[in-house]
Structure formats: structure tokens, C-alpha cells
Amino acid sequence: MELTSYHVDAFTDQLFKGNPACVVQLGEWLADDLMLKIAAENAVAETAFFKKNKDSGDYSIRWFTPDLEMDLCGHATLATSFVIDMISKEPLNEILFNSASGELRVVVNNGLFTLNFPSRPAVPSTIPRETYDSLSIKPLEVFKARDYLLIYESQQQIEEIAIDRNLFDMVNMDPGGVIITAPASEPEVDFVSRFFTPQSTILEDPVTGSAHCTLIPYWSARLGKRIMTAKQISPRGGTLFCEDCGDRVLISGTARLYSRSTLYL
């Protein structure tokens, strides 16, 4: 069996920036363990598998890290939308996905892809002691949705934080992780963040679209703004254009194709 795989850098307009995802086009689903093996072989944060549903014309999508299947992934959905738009024989305005997190719509507008995702507001919480102790800089506040949301005072703290992985990896948050965030010090950027997942092959995710399902409602309420610009300030970095729509959030970004290859299975 031969399959086509695409390597796409998402939430960026530059190669080697943003978050790399592999996108594999299928006719029918592969066995779960085979998709996990492919994701592990790809060794990027997420591999998305998609197939077109012939009767309805929409698409089904699943996301795998090198370690497990995820319930939602923003950058790999953006990367998949980019691939579908690239290979489509006709111009596309919207792409509809069926997923483990329900129906996901992506609007396509001249190279900008807008993900319509569920809002996941966080509530005040406490963080496991091992996780707290692993952080070189302690948060001001702690919230939780799928992921822990840790609030910091400044962008400099987000840039400088170090994590003791021996402590951090003691807590299994499957399938969640830890978001750290603070107001941006950069002009025309509203907030910055980073994202870490314990017990994972890749500790820091470069740009995490799904984390913004929680970041957007938090910062919208705090700043009194519905439309915002965010940056994830991992070493690769990425920019996300955000909008709070109540029970949904809009997350927009661009992408670049790095490579296309054939898988021989």
C-alpha cells in the first residue's frame, strides 16, 4: 500500500517556524496501532490522518502524537486544511471535518485558515505538587479545563521558565498538558504562551491551537476584547489570530509546505 504524506509547518509563513505536522491522506482508516506507529516514525508533535466522506463530501480527521491519539489538535487541523486546499481541483471557501471533538469548520480565505473550535473555559484549580515543584518560576494563579492554565506576570517569565522534567513527568495528564501564559510585552500582541506535556516524547509543543480553546476565553474576559493576537513563544514560535465567540473560538493562521513523500506500507 502506498500513501501520500505531507510535512507542513503550521501557524507560520516561514519554513522551520511554527509547529510541524505530518498529514496523511487515506481512502479508509488504518488500524489504530498502525497510525500510532506512523506518528511515532514521523517524530513530530502530531500526525493527522484524514479521509473524504464520499456521500457527504466532508472529511473525517484523527490526530496522533508519537505516544497516543488526541481528542483535538489545532495545528494539525490547520495543516490538513492547507493540504486539502492545495490538492483541491476547485477553490475552497470552507472545509468541514468530523472529529472526536464534534464538527469542526475551517474557513479558507486566500491562504489564511480559520478554525472554528469549541471553547473550553478554565475554572480555578490547584495543580499537583510535583508539577508545581517542577516549575522554576511559580504561577500567580492556576486554572484548569482539559489543560492546566497557569497565569504569570510577564512575558519575560514565560521566556525564562525552566522545567525539572524528573518532577514534571511524575504526573500523567493524558491527554492534557500545562499552558503557561502572560500579557505580551510586544506591540500589537495581546498575550503569549507556551505548552508542555508530561510523559511525552516531545516535552514542549511549538504552537498549540487546542490550548487556545482555553486561552481565548480567559484573555477575552480579562482584557475585555473579543478579537486578539497571540504568540506562542517556543523556540520555533508561531502567531495565532483569535476571536472569542461565546461557546466557540476562532483560531486563524497560515502554513507552509515543507515536503511531500510516499509511505510504503
**What are the φ and ψ backbone dihedral angles of 212, each rounded to 5 degrees?**
-75, -10
Q: Pick from 205, 254, 253, 246: which is nearest to 118 by CA? A: 246
Distance CA 149, CA 69 (A): 22
Asked if 48 and 15 touch (Cβ cutoff 8 Å), the reply is no
Asked if 75 and 18 touch (Cβ cutoff 8 Å), the reply is yes
Q: Which of 46, 94, 153, 188 is catalytic?
A: 46
Whether 141 is catalytic is no
Distance CA 93, CA 254 (A): 15
Q: How buried is 39 (Cβ within 10 angstroms: 0-12 exposed, 13-18 middle, 19+ buried)?
A: buried
Cβ-proximal residues to 51 (8 Å cutoff; 6+ apart), any chain = 25, 26, 27, 28, 29, 59, 60
Distance CA 23, CA 48 (A): 5
Distance CA 223, CA 260 (A): 41
Cβ-proximal residues to 15 (8 Å cutoff; 6+ apart), any chain = 9, 256, 258
Active site residues: 46
